[in-house]
Amino acid sequence: AQSVSQHNHHVILSEAASLELGCNYSYGGTVNLFWYVQYPGQHLQLLLKYFSGDPLVKGIKGFEAEFIKSKFSFNLRKPSVQWSDTAEYFCAVIPYSGAGSYQLTFGKGTKLSVIP
């Protein structure tokens, strides 16, 4: 079974600081990768996803993520955070085929607090 690790439980940044949130997964085969965001009191929304092609993917609100297959990583980045980015961020993985290809496995999440 696949698993997802998010290295930081809580990150606190000042506005305009750069952000990088780590995500590593364990699975031997091909995977599809996602980052979701959950703003306070709201449901999860898709930030970006990677299925194939260019390993640097761009999402909404200036976020991007880079898939590094050799490191089993899919780190999320943003050059300059805003107070409105305060939220919890979840990395998720789903096998591309076979058993489990319907099931998204989530990391435990990283809370981002941006200080004005």
Q: Is 109 in the site for another protein (CB under 8 A)?
A: yes
**Which residues does 33 contact at the CB level (< 8 Å), separation at least 6?**
23, 25, 49, 50, 65, 67, 74, 91, 92, 93
Q: Is 106 in the site for another protein (CB under 8 A)?
A: yes
Q: Which stretch binds another protein (CB under 8 A): 18-26, 62-70, 75-83, 88-96?
A: 88-96
Return the amino acid letter for 79.
P
Return the amino acid letter for 78.
K
Q: Which stretch binds another protein (CB under 8 A): 19-27, 60-68, 73-81, 103-111?
A: 103-111
109: DSSP letter: -
The size of the interface with another protein (CB under 8 A), counted in residues, is 23
- Residues numbered 2 to 31 that lie near another protein (CB under 8 A) are 9
Q: Which residue has the tokens 């980052």?
A: 35
Cα 58-59-64 angle, rounded to 5 deg: 50
By beta-carbon proximity to another protein, the closer residue of 21 and 95 is 95
Q: Is 54 in the site for another protein (CB under 8 A)?
A: no
To which H or E segment does residue 46 belong? strand 45-50
Interface with another protein by CB under 8 A: which residues?
9, 32, 34, 42-46, 49, 51, 90, 94-97, 101-104, 106-109
